Chain A
């Protein structure tokens, strides 16, 4: 048996995560990722008014709340058969785009870089137990300046979302039927100016910084490789024009691309703290062998990586590999790409009044939303009975990436990325945090319960 390394808390992520890694001769041979936060949103949503799901589910997550509002609105529109006009889809995608930008700026500078760059001006960030910082002083100082500047630009991205949606986190402007904003020339110019200001920073500082990091830490192209399986539910994919489109739904398994078939998604709880019986699942923190609140989703029994790298691999724009450093680079490239898309969307906007209606809730209805968001593929499923929510199921991107082992013993995506990676200095296992953070884990999103009841045809609980 090798040396066991436990890192808990894995800081600079959203929520609580523990990593236990077993290391033999400086190579990780076994890894367990444990999500350590549970609230039970699906249970809370039962019996609530269906339209409330939008503002309710966005409170699952502080950093990606708009994603849940977006998915929830799409699921309700599917259930209530409400069309959304194109101008409102543009606006909604711009709000969602601002969330991507906010998230990626914060993830790259505030969460990722302190493991590669010495942030000496903030004691909270500087104080670390590691010494593997490789940048020459002058370069380090320049990137540290960008770290501090990025705080203003991520704030500005949220300001852009607030112009169109009231406030954020927990935006009000995305709703069933589209959006609630009454667009005017001033709001539009303000949004465009914000996009421009952020673009100037990303296209110079951020792209250059990730280039420097990948040069000085080039061994991270060999660390953190996971399965060659990638999935996206599609994002910025409802338009014909290329300049406002990104990625459609699809999967890639061992190098071959297939259309997405959501019926191939299953979930297991073998290593999760849930008991499974015929009716519902209940938490059982004493369950033998279980080690996480996160469940194990699989696609045709394959673990699937989701997120920026998966998206860029699926579009064919990124072909370098699937290592720790590839994930970091992909997130930065995607930031630039989405800024261009929302700039082009803003150019198409018309100044139309709101198209909201007084929406009536049917006795029974069922709706699905499969959308891609900052961290990857997000699914919301709603079953309405007696005009209230009977079942509401959510599978978030971080569930895909952070899942524990499956019934066959195959590790989850993050676990697999750790296995086989070399720890250069066993006394300072900084590699583990670097590899895990590159996935942008969000544990507040990742833990959830699923019922097996009718209405959720797509999810079959196996174990």
Chain B
């Protein structure tokens, strides 16, 4: 059995489904707390395809054992339902193929909390882009229970770590009507944009690589709710607008079909 020596640490399964596993890579970029501190102080991660030592049947047993404990389910990627979910097989347990669809349903039924990490799990995202060949759906689309949504392509590691810390220490954080924690998703990018002053003064960029508000290039900052401008990324050094490119709305429902074209001149 999975033993849990720490009282405050909750078991957790991070299940990768129909996606690129980019949210897990982003999670590895967490800094203070880094991965080691997260896994020793906040959660006791018992199952994850990218990190775990075990493989094969023995690995999937860890998944099954965790279902009998109090745990948090994190899902990275959309859920493909085409042909009964057979476009994403997460395990072959004792001769039976386990689809991501099946694994998510099994775990979500028993989890104390369910978190959709990234835009694919939250809204379908790139995996569900038209014509959606894998019939990918969001986590909420296949579940009836509350799903905490942490959209972003990828999800910022702080948004996951902050949500986990809140769940473990203080319970469910305050959410908006879509299930997004207000502390990270409360205002639009445009509200806090470092280039807001250009917008107010009517100074607009006509191509990438220019100073000026990029709304005329198709910036999705006005409709995209994240704290990217204040938080920034990767050691807090930069963000897409800091790289002189517009926001493409990667954390919004409807991304990517509804936020195209990403750039127009």
Binding site for B on A (CB under 8 A): 6-16, 18, 36-40, 43-44, 48-49, 51-52, 55-56, 59-63, 65, 106, 110-111, 114, 119, 121-129, 148, 151-152, 154-156, 158-159, 161-170, 172-173, 175, 180-182, 190, 283, 285, 293, 353-360, 433, 444, 449
User: A167: which B residues are within 8 A, CB to CB?
Assistant: 233-234, 238-240, 243
Question: At the interface, yes or no: B81 with Cβ under 8 Å from chain A?
Answer: no
| Cβ contacts B43-61/A at 8 Å (1 or 0 each) | 0111111111111101110
**A124 with B86: CB separation less than 8 A:** no
Most chain A beta-carbon contacts within 10 A, residue among B154, B208, B250: B208
In the complex formed, the residue of A with least CB distance to B29 is A155
User: B263: which A residues are within 8 A, CB to CB?
Assistant: 51-52
In the complex formed, the residue of A with least CB distance to B34 is A151
State the CA gap A205–B45 with chains docked (Å). 27
User: A55: which B residues are within 8 A, CB to CB?
Assistant: 248, 262
In the complex formed, the residue of A with least CB distance to B255 is A59
In the complex formed, the residue of B with least CB distance to A36 is B89
User: A36: which B residues are within 8 A, CB to CB?
Assistant: 88-90
**A9 with B256: CB separation less than 8 A:** no
**B245 with A180: CB separation less than 8 A:** yes
| Cβ contacts B90-113/A at 8 Å (1 or 0 each) | 111001000000000000000000
Q: For the complex, count residues of B whose C-beta is within 8 A of A.
A: 84
* Residue contacts A-B, CB under 8 angstroms, 14 given: A9-B91, A11-B49, A18-B89, A37-B18, A37-B87, A38-B87, A39-B80, A56-B126, A56-B262, A129-B56, A169-B20, A180-B243, A180-B245, A444-B21
In the complex formed, the residue of B with least CB distance to A129 is B58
**B133 with A162: CB separation less than 8 A:** no
State the CA gap A444–B23 with chains docked (Å). 13
B67-83: which have CB < 8 Å to A?
80, 82-83
**B243 with A356: CB separation less than 8 A:** no
B115-150: which have CB < 8 Å to A?
126-127, 129-134, 136
Question: At the interface, yes or no: B24 with Cβ under 8 Å from chain A?
Answer: yes
User: A60: which B residues are within 8 A, CB to CB?
Assistant: 20
User: B22: which A residues are within 8 A, CB to CB?
Assistant: 59, 61-63, 65, 169-170
In the complex formed, the residue of A with least CB distance to B205 is A356
State the CA gap A116–B132 with chains docked (Å). 41
- B66 CB, nearest partner CB in chain A, Å: 11
State the CA gap A123–B43 with chains docked (Å). 11
In the complex formed, the residue of B with least CB distance to A59 is B126
State the CA gap A103–B95 with chains docked (Å). 33
**B243 with A165: CB separation less than 8 A:** yes
Selected contact of B53 from candidates A119, A165, A175, CB within 8 Å: A119
Most chain A beta-carbon contacts within 10 A, residue among B21, B210, B235: B21
User: B221: which A residues are within 8 A, CB to CB?
Assistant: none
**B53 with A158: CB separation less than 8 A:** no
**B238 with A162: CB separation less than 8 A:** yes
| Cβ contacts B23-36/A at 8 Å (1 or 0 each) | 11110111100111
**Known interface pairs A14-B21, A162-B237; A285-B133 also in contact (CB < 8 Å):** no
The DSSP consensus for interface residues of chain B is loop
User: A170: which B residues are within 8 A, CB to CB?
Assistant: 22, 153-154, 250
User: A110: which B residues are within 8 A, CB to CB?
Assistant: 28, 50-51
User: A354: which B residues are within 8 A, CB to CB?
Assistant: 208-210, 244
**A356 with B210: CB separation less than 8 A:** yes
**Known interface pairs A51-B263, A167-B233; A124-B52 also in contact (CB < 8 Å):** yes
**A444 with B19: CB separation less than 8 A:** yes
User: A162: which B residues are within 8 A, CB to CB?
Assistant: 233-235, 237-238
In the complex formed, the residue of A with least CB distance to B91 is A9
State the CA gap A63–B19 with chains docked (Å). 12
Question: Contacts A44-B126, A56-B129, A151-B28 given; 5 further ones with Cβ under 8 A?
Answer: A56-B262, A59-B20, A62-B21, A166-B243, A356-B210
Question: At the interface, yes or no: B175 with Cβ under 8 Å from chain A?
Answer: no
**A358 with B87: CB separation less than 8 A:** no
State the CA gap A6–B60 with chains docked (Å). 13
Selected contact of B208 from candidates A180, A353, A360, CB within 8 Å: A180
**B209 with A127: CB separation less than 8 A:** no
**A159 with B89: CB separation less than 8 A:** no
- A193 CB, nearest partner CB in chain B, Å: 12
Selected contact of A433 from candidates B55, B90, B210, B238, CB within 8 Å: B55
**B59 with A166: CB separation less than 8 A:** no
- A30 CB, nearest partner CB in chain B, Å: 17
**A166 with B242: CB separation less than 8 A:** yes
State the CA gap A61–B40 with chains docked (Å). 28
State the CA gap A163–B235 with chains docked (Å). 10
- B248 CB, nearest partner CB in chain A, Å: 6
**Known interface pairs A18-B89, A162-B238; A62-B23 also in contact (CB < 8 Å):** yes
User: A51: which B residues are within 8 A, CB to CB?
Assistant: 261-263
Please list the 6 inter-chain residue pairs (A to B) with the smallest Cβ-Cβ separation, ordered nearest first. A62-B22, A354-B209, A40-B133, A166-B243, A162-B234, A8-B92
Question: At the interface, yes or no: B196 with Cβ under 8 Å from chain A?
Answer: no
**Known interface pairs A155-B28, A169-B25; A39-B91 also in contact (CB < 8 Å):** no
In the complex formed, the residue of B with least CB distance to A57 is B126
**Known interface pairs A9-B59, A40-B134; A158-B88 also in contact (CB < 8 Å):** no
- B191 CB, nearest partner CB in chain A, Å: 19
State the CA gap A172–B16 with chains docked (Å). 24
State the CA gap A164–B47 with chains docked (Å). 34
